Structures are given as structure tokens and as C-alpha cells.
Amino acid sequence: MSSRTLLGPQIFQTLTVSSEKPCFWAAEIFQRDELTSGSRVCFNWRDNETLWRKTIEVSPGRARAYNSLGNSYYVQGNYAEALEEFNKALAMAPGFSNAIMNAGLACKHLGRTEEARILYQKAIETDSDNALRYYNLGLLYGGLGQFDKALAECNVSVLKKGTDEERPY
């Protein structure tokens, strides 16, 4: 019997215990790697940071896990630590648009606005249909007092198609 077969019921059971996206993503990573020990992570996680640290320990080659750990730091206001994790994700997957945008957001909060602008533009280059990329760039320009650029970027974001989750309005 393969480890995937053994893991399947445990993942399902885990997902019914918690509807949190992090648990689903971690389970997806474990299932792809066919790690039987991975199912225990979702049962034992206290918070997102703990979950993603354990995910990285079990499956260290996944850029998505580093990006998610960075997100947990970002939500806590630990922008420098978040940026470190986003950069680790980008070292593994340089075209990972979400990690590029997240690194830009962390830079913005760290006062590194020029670096944030460059990262936002790179995120747009890698995922030009995502309205949120343009919206965040528009907000950055607005914060810098460059209102014409801010309005232009926000207008582009309104015209872009995407899922409701991607739309900033």
C-alpha cells in the first residue's frame, strides 16, 4: 500500500477538523511529497507560524511553504522576518508572483519604497492579469504623493479580470 493511500484518510480527517487554508495547503504539499509523517502536522499546529515551520522541516524544498511562513510573520507585523522568508521562496522559484508581491509589501512596511515599487512592477510582469498587483502599486504611488500614477494603476486594476479573492474592491 502506498504512502499516499495511507495518508489520504488522515488528510481528509484533518481537513474536516479545520477549514483553514494553511492546513489544506500543508496537506497538499505532504500529499505531493507522499510523506506519511506529514499528516501529524495539521493535528498539532497551534498557529500558522508553527504549521509552516513544521511544513518546511518536513518538506524544505517548497517555495510555497516559505511564502506562507512569510505571510504568517507579515500578519504579526514582523516584516523583516517575513521578507527573509519571501526571499527564500524567491530563491527557489524566482517567478513566484505571490512571493514577489509579498516581498514588495514587506519592503513597503520597512520603508523601502523604491525596492517595493520595483518588486510590485516585477509582480505585474509575472502576473499581469492580477488586479491586486496594480492596486498595490497604485497605493504605493498614492503614499508617495504621485497621485496621477496612483490613479492610473488603480484604474488598470479595475479593468483587470480575476477572481473575487484577487479584487481589492
pLDDT per residue of the chain (169 residues) written in tens, 0 to 9? 333 323 333 333 333 333 344 454 555 555 444 444 444 444 456 788 988 998 899 889 999 999 999 999 999 999 999 999 999 999 999 999 999 999 999 999 999 999 999 999 999 999 999 999 999 999 999 999 999 999 999 999 988 865 555 444 4
Contact in structure between 136 and 163 (CB atoms under 8 Å): no
CA distance 150 to 139: 6
CA distance 8 to 58: 17
